[in-house]
Amino acid sequence: MGIGGGIALIVIGAILAFGVRDSIDAIDLTTIGYICMGAGALALILAIVMNAQRSNTSHREVIDQRVAPAPAAATPQTPQTPQTPQAPAAPVVQQAPAQPVQQVPAQQNPPQAPPAV
């Protein structure tokens, strides 16, 4: 029914309860108007509560990942993608043999610290 239906019932009930003065045998239009206004108020309250609950829900997106195996034989209509060739390795440059390092002879008597006074 919703908010619009509840408001419509309240309006129709108010018209029947307060605006109509005709009488039909065995039907009291004032009572029907009050019943319509009560039903409209109830519908309006329920619609507002339901909309408030709907806006407070949390939505989670579930993503299924399916890993399909590669097809065993490709169909003849689909061309195979060619393999890209690897870049050739850089040429190796030969270096001259390393020269031996000459060691410097260590001093015989290293300097000593002055005596403490």
Mean pLDDT of the chain: 78
Name the percent of the chain lying above pLDDT 70.
62
DSSP 64: -
Q: Determine the Cα–Cα distance for residues 5 and 46; give it in Å rounded to an integer.
A: 11
Q: pLDDT (tens digit, 9 = 90+) per residue, 86-102?
A: 666 666 666 666 677 66
| Domain range list for the chain | 2-54
Q: Residues 59-75: what's their mean pLDDT?
A: 74
Is it the case that residue 77 has pLDDT exceeding 70?
no
Whole-Å CA distances, 37 to 9, 13, 79, 84: 6, 5, 73, 78
Strand partners, 24: 27
pLDDT value of position 25: 85
pLDDT, residue 91, reads 67
Q: Contacts for 112-115 with beta carbons within 8 Å, 24 or more apart?
A: none
Query: Per-residue confidence at 108, pLDDT binned at 50, 70, 90?
Result: low
pTM: predicted TM-score of the whole model, two decimal places: 0.46
